[in-house]
Amino acid sequence: MVQFLAQGEAAGNPLVGFLPIILLFVIFYFLLIRPQQQNQKKRKEMLGNLQKGDRVITIGGIYGMIKEIKEDTVVVRIADNVNIKMTRVGIDRVVRDEE
């Protein structure tokens, strides 16, 4: 009789059945989704703060200096008298002097 009541209580509560799925989603959120959102936010902020004269590395690995910035494009000087025009999202990161 005691076993019958314990099984009936577990079967009566639908939350117990979904608890492992909910727990798995919470783990995925904190290990995968949230860090990716934070990285996207930092990247968007970095691209928004680009300034003329910043030393950058493009996604293709080319080092250069920003010569001109427009709304969605930048002109990057990669050598003497060699400038390339590229989209803003083509910038991978800003290089600081200590690198």
12-62: pLDDT as tens digits: 677 788 899 999 999 999 999 999 999 999 999 999 999 999 999 999 999
What tokens appear for 73 in the block? 């494009």
pTM of the model: 0.70
Indicate the pLDDT class of residue 83, thresholds 50, 70 and 90: very high
Is the pLDDT at 1 greater than 50? The verdict is no
Question: How far is residue 10's CA from residue 42's CA, in Å, rounded to a whole number?
Answer: 45
In single-letter form, the type of residue at position 82 comes to V
The 3 state secondary structure assigned to 3-43 is: HHHHHHHHHHCHHHHHHHHHHHHHHHHHHHHHHHHHHHHHH
Is the pLDDT at 11 greater than 60? The verdict is no
- Give CATH for domain 52-99: 2.30.30
What are the sequence ranges of the domains in the chain? 1-49, 52-99
Indicate the pLDDT class of residue 96, thresholds 50, 70 and 90: confident
Instruction: State residue 49 phi and psi, 5-degree precision.
Output: -95, 10
